[in-house]
């Protein structure tokens, strides 16, 4: 059996870094993570520059 949770994460570096931060944070309380599906991407802009990359993602893990 698998379970899916939805998370949001952000990074100053990239969307990929935001995804890794999400997986790293979730892995502190969840075992057996199998995949991440990036559902949505957005960015915060200041002075015509991207200052934060944001994602909404679904993380799938196996339930014992």
Kindly list the domain boundaries of the chain, sorted by start residue.
2-62
Residue 31 DSSP code: -
Q: What is the pLDDT of residues 5-60, one digit of tens each?
A: 999 999 999 999 999 999 999 999 999 999 999 999 999 999 999 999 999 999 99
Is the pLDDT score of 62 beyond 90? yes
For 2-62, CATH gives: 3.30.1660.10
Helix, strand, coil share of the chain (percent; to 5): 20, 60, 20
């Amino acid at each position: 059996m698998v379970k899916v949770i939805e998370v949001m994460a952000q990074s100053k570096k990239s969307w990929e870094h935001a995804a890794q931060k999400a997986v790293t944070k979730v892995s502190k309380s969840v075992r057996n993570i199998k995949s991440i599906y990036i559902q949505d991407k957005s960015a915060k802009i200041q002075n015509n520059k991207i200052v934060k990359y944001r994602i909404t993602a679904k993380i799938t893990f196996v339930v014992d």
